[in-house]
Amino acid sequence: MRGGAVEFRVIDGGLVAHEMVVGGPEIQAAWEAAEASATPPAPGQSPEISLTPELAGLRLVLASGETRTGMLHAMPLEAPLSLGCHIPGHTAEGMVAQVRFVVPAAP
């Protein structure tokens, strides 16, 4: 699977905005720090938060009830990947999960 791509289709079934950041520990830490220091707090109207491409990972921000799709290319399989929502307070409330890729068995 090295060098492949994975499509994520995400639905915000909650009552508030959430995000999904896919990446390794450095990417998750970078978004956590960037959003914690944003004024007004993320995902407010401004400022727009962005990180350098090597620390960006895949980030989808969703309003309540919204569905979005994103592609993760050239997956860094060497590092453990996780999903995180770094809107202040959300990680502390448990919005983090590990990513596990499963390759279907050959027919």
Residues 64-93 touching Cu ion, rule: CB under 5 A, are: 85, 87, 90
**Between 56 and 95, CB nearer to Cu ion:** 95
Does 99 bind Cu ion (CB under 5 A)? Our answer is no
Q: Which of 12, 18, 57, 61 binds Cu ion (CB under 5 A)?
A: 18
CA distance 106 to 49: 42
CA distance 26 to 20: 15
Does 55 bind Cu ion (CB under 5 A)? Our answer is no
Q: Which of 51, 72, 95, 96 binds Cu ion (CB under 5 A)?
A: 95
CA distance 1 to 14: 32
Dihedral of CA atoms 41, 91, 82, 66 in degrees, nearest 10, equals: -60
Residues that bind Cu ion (CB under 5 A): 18, 85, 87, 90, 95
